[in-house]
């Protein structure tokens, strides 16, 4: 009886330890689909990537894809592989390196959690592109790639941008969840409105707008007074036909109104779309940032 209790207790302890070991081992995963790395290269790359994961605290996934796949499939594979290993909105990065027979291979980086802030993809700070270019130096020409060199370069890039740190006042917009993310005290904060509103710029804009309004009012007032002064000084013999005056004024008002509406609508729509997605912040889709391109 005591023997069975010891066995059951041992099994229970092993079950309790499984999550701990799984989390530790899951900090880094290297998938070599086509066995493009030799045994020695695989072992060395695995060790180097593990160092990068431990140094940064980021979960790291490297997929060496050997089968021809579409761009959309590669992006989905990178996002899904990361989520299956570590869960959604955890901190990490995944790269899919296309080493298939595609004539124009597509490489893709997927980021999650804090990984989206260290490995940025905004128009002002696109570290993902820089990382891909650093990796792809080893992947020319197609068919004669230095896959080992590419993987080692990726590990260096992970540490490099982690050491540089998160760009100042960097934020992310997720177009699936319609949420904004930014970092405070090492934690990702979620908001429904864009963070880092510059009060100084708002005040400056308000003051400038006020002066423009005053200036426009003065000009308009002067123009109106000048118009009526002209009519007052006119002798009765120079009165214009009433119908002609009304037609000219109505046509003038119509033209100005139409021009004004067209100008405001076109300008406002363009700036709103560009500003909310590209200026000052990164892009996220369902909890994943990143980006990719063809070689």
Per-residue confidence (pLDDT) for residue 52, from 0 to 100: 97
pLDDT tens track for 119-133 = 999 999 999 999 999
Nearest partner of 65 among 158, 149, 147, judged by Cα = 147
Query: What order do you get walking across the sheet with 179-184 strand by strand?
Result: 187-191, 179-184, 171-174, 281-284
> How open is the CA angle 134-60-19, to the nearest 5 degrees?
175
Q: Is the dihedral of CA 80, 85, 91, 97 positive or negative?
A: negative
Per-residue confidence (pLDDT) for residue 234, from 0 to 100: 47
Residue 283 has pLDDT above 80, yes or no: yes
Contacts of 271 (CB under 8 A, 6+ apart): none
Per-residue confidence (pLDDT) for residue 84, from 0 to 100: 96
User: DSSP letters of 28-39?
Assistant: EEEEETT--S-H
pLDDT tens track for 146-191 = 999 999 999 999 999 999 999 999 999 999 999 999 999 999 999 9
pLDDT tens track for 179-207 = 999 999 999 999 999 998 755 444 444 44
Nearest partner of 158 among 50, 259, 83, judged by Cα = 50
Exposure letters 223-244 (e unless 16+ CB within 10 A, then b): eeeeeeeeeeeeeeeeeeeeee
Q: Per DSSP, which regions of the chain are E strands?
A: 28-32, 59-65, 92-98, 106-112, 171-174, 179-184, 187-191, 281-284, 288-294
How many percent of the chain have pLDDT more than 70?
Answer: 63
Residue 25 has pLDDT above 50, yes or no: no
Instruction: Tell me the pTM.
Output: 0.66
């Amino acid at each position: 009886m005591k023997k069975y209790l010891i066995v059951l207790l041992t099994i229970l302890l092993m079950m309790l330890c499984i999550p701990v070991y799984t989390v530790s081992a899951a900090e880094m995963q290297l998938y070599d689909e086509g066995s493009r790395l030799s045994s020695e290269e695989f072992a060395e790359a695995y060790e180097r990537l593990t160092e990068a994961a431990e140094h940064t605290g980021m979960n790291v996934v490297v997929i060496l894809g050997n089968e021809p796949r579409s761009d959309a499939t590669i992006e989905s594979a990178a996002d899904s592989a990361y989520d299956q290993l570590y869960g959604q909105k955890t901190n990490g990065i995944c790269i899919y390196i296309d080493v298939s027979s595609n004539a124009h291979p597509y490489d893709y980086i997927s980021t999650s959690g804090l990984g989206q802030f260290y490995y940025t993809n905004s128009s002002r700070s696109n570290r993902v592109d820089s990382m891909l270019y650093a990796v792809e130096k080893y992947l020319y020409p197609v068919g004669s790639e230095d896959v080992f060199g590419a993987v080692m370069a990726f590990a260096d890039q992970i540490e490099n941008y982690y050491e540089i740190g998160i760009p100042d006042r960097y934020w992310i917009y997720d177009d699936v969840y319609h949420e904004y993310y930014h970092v405070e005290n090492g934690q990702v904060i979620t908001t429904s409105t864009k963070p880092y509103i510059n009060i100084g710029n708002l005040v400056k804009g308000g003051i400038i707008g006020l002066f423009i309004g005053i200036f426009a009012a003065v000009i308009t007032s002067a123009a109106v007074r000048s118009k009526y002064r002209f009519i007052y000084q006119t002798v009765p013999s120079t009165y214009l036909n009433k119908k002609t005056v009304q037609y000219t004024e109505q046509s003038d008002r119509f033209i100005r109104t139409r021009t004004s509406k067209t100008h405001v609508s076109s300008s406002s729509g363009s700036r709103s779309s560009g500003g909310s997605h590209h200026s000052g912040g990164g892009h996220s889709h369902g909890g994943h940032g990143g980006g990719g391109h063809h070689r």
